[in-house]
Amino acid sequence: MTFKYGGYAGSLLFADLTKGTVKKIPLEKEWCTLYLGGRGRDARLLFEKQDPSVGPLDPEAHVCISPGPLTGLLGPTTGRVNVAGRSPLTTIYGNSNAGTNWGPELKFAGYDGVVVTGRSQKPVYLHIHDSDVQLLDAGRLWGEGVFETTARILEEHGPETKVAAVGPAAEHGVLFGSVIFDFWDAAARTGLGTVLASKNLKAVSVRGTGAISVADPDGYYEAAREGWQAILDDAGFRTGEHSALGTSICVNWGNAQGWLPTRNFKESHFEGADKISGEEFRDLYSTKEAPIPAGRACFSCPNRCKRFGRIDEGKYAGTKGNIEFEGVSAFGSKCGVDDLAAVFHAYMLANDYGMDCISCGNTIAFYMELAEKKLLDTEGLELRFGNADAMVEMVHRIANREGRLGELGSQGSERAAKAIGKGSEAFLNTIKGMETIACDPRASKAFGFGYAVSSRGSDHLRAHPVFEMLKLSEGVGEELFGSKEAVDLRKYGGKVRLLVWHENIAAVTDSLGSCRFMHASYYAEYPVPELVNKYAKRKKDPAKVRSIKYHRWFEAATGIPMTYEKLLEAGDRVINLERALNIQWGLKKEQDTLPPRFLKEPIPRGPAKGELFDPEKFQDMLKEYYAIRGWDWESGLPLEEHLRQLDMADVAACLGKRGLLATSRTPRSEDGAGVGSEKSSPPASSLDDCEERAGRNGGTPARRP
């Protein structure tokens, strides 16, 4: 039977590893109409299927791996895949996203996602070849790195197979284990690779030979064609810099603007930036000559932002792979290391071990500052900023949980700080338990505020508000976000509205299966090109301005009616559902904040000298943000009225029964939870009154596998 909506394959694979079964289950209508797919559907599945008492590493925990309805279709950047579950690092919502060829391949095989629960008695991998789906023995793969694992599966099933694998770090219980797609493409944040490894699942491989239909082929062609043209017309894209240098273009850019984290965020300007820059990587290690040096693209992407390189000589000879800005900063500027070969090598080690380069690099930088303050027993290792050898050695120790430093580091810097004590918490950069990315929040206010309210902990990709860094016309900022200051990265005006817009669009694109760069680097997304042209000194004919109109694109693909406003509402719905998950998993309002360093310590030197994030302005912004999101200011809980406006009455009912729902501006109870079911009197829930969810078993708190 053909699924009623285009774009979707129409079914999910549900693997219960305890039972050793894999079943095909149909998509539900509201997963598509309300939550779109990908990230949104995954959050909905977790809310429905996983009881809040189940710990991240309990067998009953679920992991979702999902493309969206646009994934695999012809159109700009339709290769994204979402991975979601409860994070073992933060114990709240875990979510990561990668640009791949794996997601389209799963759609071609006839599936919109894979949901995994249970725990196998022995290592296995899931192999999908169209309708032939098998759990196969992975004993020979257990303990192997991601690169070797992927190569062996390709040898077994053919070179057209796409592979998502976990590495030894996840097997060892490192809490930030990643899922690596096709050798290099990482869904690394929040440790969901560790959850898969705890289930004895080594990989998910897929080969698909089918096709995807759309509801309105002519309308789809026009929407996708306009999207392509919008990217080609974008001023940033036309420079070719991003394609030529990859995301490492941000090294020198961030240094020039004063937001490149340096020496564990003590500073935001690195004197060695030129030595670890995208230009330096291109000149030393790129394996293909300009104009597009070793550019790798995700499925259906014109940007080719992935830089592939190889070290041919020296002590790191043989190192090869795909390098990105976040890894360069994590092992480079944050650790004070300007040896690009060492940075490249450490990054590829992290990928092969299968662990998040950001959490790993930040933890090493944290150790270096503690050693500098004489607060850490370094176990004979010279852990100082700039010591490349010590940095590389710590990657090995963390991945293998070697010694006390490796053991504590494998649990992330926040848990390490609690174990070390001695005031070491003062040097953390974590939010909600997760390490901060490569942009100093003191120098870039929308980015910084976004870290504080992100649903998965300190992170930029819940929003990615690059808008404030691009020096666009003040008129664009004022019309779109209510303040001319929105275009100034040091200013606060308009930044809450700017962030909310970016969060909503990001939730949408993560759910549809499209790339963040299309609306938050190049800004080809409607209505930004139209506004940029309106305030440009040299204007085009407005009829010739093109933009990516995701609402038209989605409607033409699926047949589900959609407007721009409804699409933004869908983003708001996804973010509120993630808030509901986090509230059930113990998140408190007090965790929506920035680390003390960013609120109290001004940047000491460089282009952003003297900047910090003003604590009073932060509180004002948080209050405005809560009001827009429909969250109670006193408790941080979702307001019943707002959830109902978002067609989430069943979610409101479920939260109400658990005492986690606020009515109109209700005060907190003594335990910090909001008003419960007696006062809010929710209607019956479509989630079986939250009492009979799949997976309910009185699970235990998070533990190592």
Which structural domain range is residue 362 located in? 234-427
Query: What pLDDT sits at residue 480?
Result: 97
State how far the Cα of 35 lies from the Cα of 101, in Å rounded to an integer.
Answer: 23
Q: Is the pLDDT of residue 702 over 80?
A: no
The answer to the question of residue 227 being in a domain is no
State how far the Cα of 591 lies from the Cα of 129, in Å rounded to an integer.
Answer: 44
The answer to the question of residue 698 being in a domain is no
Supply 291's token pair. 């104009």
Question: Which of 380, 400, 427 corresponds to the end of one domain?
Answer: 427
When comparing pLDDT for 686 and 470, which is higher?
470
Per residue in 640-658, pLDDT (tens digit) is: 999 999 999 999 999 999 9
The answer to the question of residue 295 being in a domain is yes
CB atoms within 10 A of CB 543: 5
Using pLDDT thresholds of 50, 70 and 90, give the confidence band for residue 698: very low
The answer to the question of residue 228 being in a domain is no
Q: Is the pLDDT of residue 669 over 50?
A: no
Per residue in 6-61, pLDDT (tens digit) is: 999 999 999 999 999 999 999 999 999 999 999 999 999 999 999 999 999 999 99
Query: What pLDDT sits at residue 253?
Result: 96
Is residue 136 domain-shared with residue 184, that is, in the same domain? yes
Helical (H) or strand (E) element with 296? strand 295-296
State how far the Cα of 615 lies from the Cα of 92, in Å rounded to an integer.
Answer: 25
Is residue 529 domain-shared with residue 382, that is, in the same domain? no
Peptide bond into 527 cis (omega under 30): yes
Using pLDDT thresholds of 50, 70 and 90, give the confidence band for residue 294: low
Question: For the chain, what percent of residues have pLDDT higher than 90?
Answer: 85
The answer to the question of residue 229 being in a domain is no
Query: What pLDDT sits at residue 300?
Result: 74
Is residue 263 domain-shared with residue 184, that is, in the same domain? no
Only one residue has tokens 């933060």, namely 90
Query: What pLDDT sits at residue 704?
Result: 28
Query: What pLDDT sits at residue 290?
Result: 53
Asked if 75 contacts 104 with a C-beta cutoff of 8 angstroms, the reply is no
Query: What pLDDT sits at residue 685?
Result: 36
Is residue 558 domain-shared with residue 449, that is, in the same domain? yes
Query: What pLDDT sits at residue 3?
Result: 83
Asked if 356 contacts 327 with a C-beta cutoff of 8 angstroms, the reply is no
Q: Residue 309 maps to which CATH number?
A: 1.10.569.10
Tell which residue, 638, 628, 643, 646, has the closest CA to residue 665: 638
Task: In the chain, count H helices and then E strands.
Answer: 29, 15
The lowest-confidence range among 427-431, 488-492, 590-594, 694-698 is 694-698
DSSP state letters, 420-452: H-TTGGGG---BTTB---SS-TTT-HHHHHHHH
Q: Is the pLDDT of residue 515 over 90?
A: no
Per residue in 199-213, pLDDT (tens digit) is: 999 999 999 999 999
CB atoms within 10 A of CB 29: 11
For range 494-503, the mean pLDDT: 97
Asked if 39 contacts 65 with a C-beta cutoff of 8 angstroms, the reply is no
For range 594-602, the mean pLDDT: 98
> Biggest alpha carbon distance in the chain?
70
Per residue in 383-418, pLDDT (tens digit) is: 999 999 999 999 999 999 999 999 999 999 999 999
Query: What pLDDT sits at residue 474?
Result: 97
For the chain, what is the mean pLDDT? 92
First-last CA distance in the chain: 41
Is residue 565 domain-shared with residue 419, that is, in the same domain? no
Counting the structural domains of the chain, the total is 3
Is residue 157 domain-shared with residue 84, that is, in the same domain? yes
In a 13 Å sphere around the CA of 380, the CA atoms on its Cβ side amount to 1
Query: What pLDDT sits at residue 539?
Result: 93
Query: What pLDDT sits at residue 690?
Result: 63
Supply 527's token pair. 């209505």
Is residue 366 domain-shared with residue 239, that is, in the same domain? yes
The answer to the question of residue 459 being in a domain is yes
Using pLDDT thresholds of 50, 70 and 90, give the confidence band for residue 681: very low
Query: What pLDDT sits at residue 688?
Result: 52
DSSP state letters, 325-379: HHHHHHHTGGGT---HHHHHHHHHHHHHHTB-HHHHHHHHHHHHHHHHTT-S--T
For range 82-103, the mean pLDDT: 96
The answer to the question of residue 2 being in a domain is no
What one-letter code names the amino acid at 2?
Answer: T
Question: Which of 191, 207, 223 corresponds to the end of one domain?
Answer: 207
Q: Residue 621 maps to which CATH number?
A: 1.10.599.10
Is residue 318 domain-shared with residue 368, that is, in the same domain? yes
Question: Which of 366, 392, 427 corresponds to the end of one domain?
Answer: 427
The answer to the question of residue 358 being in a domain is yes
Measure CA 462 to chain center. 7
Is residue 540 domain-shared with residue 674, that is, in the same domain? yes
Using pLDDT thresholds of 50, 70 and 90, give the confidence band for residue 521: confident
Is residue 592 domain-shared with residue 664, that is, in the same domain? yes
Asked if 344 contacts 267 with a C-beta cutoff of 8 angstroms, the reply is no
Question: For the chain, what percent of residues have pLDDT higher than 70?
Answer: 93
Is residue 85 domain-shared with residue 39, that is, in the same domain? yes
Q: Residue 190 maps to which CATH number?
A: 3.60.9.10
Is residue 260 domain-shared with residue 387, that is, in the same domain? yes
For range 681-697, the mean pLDDT: 40
The lowest-confidence range among 60-74, 354-368, 606-620, 691-705 is 691-705
